[in-house]
A and B are shown apart, each in its own frame.
Chain A
Amino acid sequence: EDQVTQSPEALRLQEGESSSLNCSYTVSGLRGLFWYRQDPGKGPEFLFTLYSAGEEKEKERLKATLTKKESFLHITAPKPEDSATYLCAVHSGGGADGLTFGKGTHLIIQP
């Protein structure tokens, strides 16, 4: 069974204070690892897909990296508008096409 564990559950940072969110996964063959952002009262919004170990992707202040067992979402010099819940999900090679999600990291950036 696919498993996704995110840490920490919650993180409070000062504006400009860089940090990283972790996503550990166990799957039977990884077809893709996804990062989503979710704002209160809204659906998850797609950020990145990573397909193989060593791959990196960037978008503004966010950078996602992937190893064979985990992914990191690095946030550089965050701003209050980066406050949200960040979700990690995996698409496995088990045959099904549903994504398995972690429970997310609730990030708060204080001005």
Chain B
Amino acid sequence: DAGVIQSPRHEVTEMGQEVTLRCKPISGHDYLFWYRQTMMRGLELLIYFNNNVPIDDSGMPEDRFSAKMPNASFSTLKIQPSEPRDSAVYFCASSFSPSYGYTFGSGTRLTVV
């Protein structure tokens, strides 16, 4: 298995632009998680899905953030409009059972200038 695949690896965008991050989970994993990592706050859970349904989005910082999972093999995290404080590394992770931990992707480093 290729693991959790995220794209792009790096994204530089101007303030106010729309940004879309993509994730392909491991086949057979029913759970998908989006995390954000910064030096100040560490890893923070943004939202997670179970069987393509959003379960908990309480970590999504503002209405500018939205996430979708149209099918079992694809998810997106969208920021519109983007702001400099959104600069961070965004990780996607998947799991067949959270009690056994997650597998993380390599992350997308987002820089908003």
A residues adjacent to B (C-beta < 8 A): 31-32, 34, 36, 41-46, 49, 87, 89, 91, 96-104
Contacts and interface: CB of A to CB of B under 8 A. Distances in A.
19 contacts: A32-B101, A34-B101, A43-B106, A44-B91, A44-B104, A46-B101, A49-B99, A89-B43, A91-B98, A91-B99, A97-B48, A97-B50, A98-B56, A98-B59, A99-B45, A99-B101, A101-B42, A101-B43, A104-B42
Nearest to B46: A98
B107 interface: yes
Given A46-B103, A101-B42, A96 B56 contact: yes
Q: Which interface residue of A31, A91, A97, A100 has the most chain B CB atoms within 10 A?
A: A97
Contact of A98 (B45, B100, B107): B45
B46 to A, nearest CB: 9
Interface string B3-36: 0100000000000000000000000000101010
Interface of B: 4, 31, 33, 35, 41-45, 48, 50, 55-56, 59, 91, 93, 98-107
B104 A45 contact: yes
Contacts of A99: 33, 45, 98, 101-102
